[in-house]
């Protein structure tokens, strides 16, 4: 099963909170609900959330104050939810650090579109900040010895893994960006492909093929994990190898 990202819904109206919860669960999130801002900052610090929806007015509590507190400890995407179509509210929220706004009453499709847009922008920003970090010639990943120069992989049993150039290019993208959520669009860009559409299964097929070659159990992948609604994330530990000390070079 794919990893489920966590979402935090902070909303004092039970009906709105339930609607947001249902929408986010349909998108694959595990949703935590709060009816006010009490202890929310501690929760954000303790948990890894993919998205937060925050009501502007939580009874006597001001959502903008809660947003300020969240921004002091986290860059998690935050979508403000407001009952007023007020430009001033929008400007204040965006200046404080909100990523987007939803105005009540809203349609579930709008919520989905805004959640996807915000998380996609977040993933795009994170990915563009990352520069390839692997300057080593060889690395070790879960028992696999990967020769980055020769584009060769020695399997856990000591035999050579048969990877195509396309397989290796995709693997290199993941190795250079460990633990970064990458969308299908980003993966297409990184490997030099065409723009991805929801009906295009090219990346999914390539990931499935790569998993068959590097995962201990492709049916339950531990290196390349699916992030529902986003894309994929490489969770394996990448250990640089000194070619002179690992016995690959003769004296």
Express each pLDDT in 90-139 by its tens digit.
788 888 889 899 988 999 889 988 898 888 777 666 655 554 545 568 88
* The overall pTM is greater than 0.85: no
Confidence (pLDDT) at 215: 95
Confidence (pLDDT) at 250: 37
Tell which residue, 246, 251, 250, has the closest CA to residue 147.
246
How many other CB atoms are there within 10 angstroms of residue 121's CB atom? 13
Confidence (pLDDT) at 245: 44
Confidence (pLDDT) at 246: 45
- The parts of the chain modelled with pLDDT lower than 50 are 1-2, 131, 133, 194-199, 243-251
Confidence (pLDDT) at 171: 94
Q: Please tell me whether residue 82 adopts helix, strand or coil conformation.
A: strand
Q: Please tell me whether residue 67 adopts helix, strand or coil conformation.
A: helix
Is residue 17 a contact partner of residue 87, using CB atoms and an 8 Å limit?
no
Which domains does the chain show, CATH number per domain? 6-129 (3.40.50.2300), 138-241 (1.10.10.10)
Is residue 149 a contact partner of residue 137, using CB atoms and an 8 Å limit?
yes
Confidence (pLDDT) at 243: 44
212's tokens: 């068959």
């Amino acid at each position: 099963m794919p990893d489920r990202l966590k979402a935090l819904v902070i909303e004092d109206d039970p009906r709105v909170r339930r609607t947001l919860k249902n929408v986010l669960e349909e998108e694959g999130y595990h949703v935590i609900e709060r009816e006010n801002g009490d202890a929310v900052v501690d929760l954000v610090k303790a948990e890894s959330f993919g998205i937060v929806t925050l009501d502007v007015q939580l009874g006597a509590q001001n959502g903008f104050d809660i947003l300020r507190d969240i921004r002091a400890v986290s860059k998690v995407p935050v979508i403000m939810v407001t009952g007023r179509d007020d430009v001033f509210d929008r400007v204040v929220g965006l200046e404080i650090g909100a990523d987007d706004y939803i105005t009540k009453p809203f349609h579930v499709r709008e919520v989905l579109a805004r959640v996807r847009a915000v998380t996609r922008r977040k993933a795009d920003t994170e990915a563009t900040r990352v520069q390839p970090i692997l300057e080593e010639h060889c690395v070790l990943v879960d028992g696999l010895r990967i020769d980055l120069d020769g584009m060769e992989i020695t399997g856990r049993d000591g035999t050579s893994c048969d990877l195509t150039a396309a397989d290796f290019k995709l693997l290199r993208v993941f190795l250079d960006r460990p633990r970064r959520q990458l969308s299908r669009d980003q993966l297409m860009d990184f490997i030099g492909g065409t723009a991805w559409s929801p009906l295009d299964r090219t990346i999914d097929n390539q990931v499935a093929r790569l998993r068959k070659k590097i995962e201990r159990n492709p049916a339950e992948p531990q290196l390349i994990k699916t992030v529902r609604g986003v894309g994929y994330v490489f969770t394996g530990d990448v250990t640089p190898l000194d070619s002179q000390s690992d016995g690959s070079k003769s004296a």
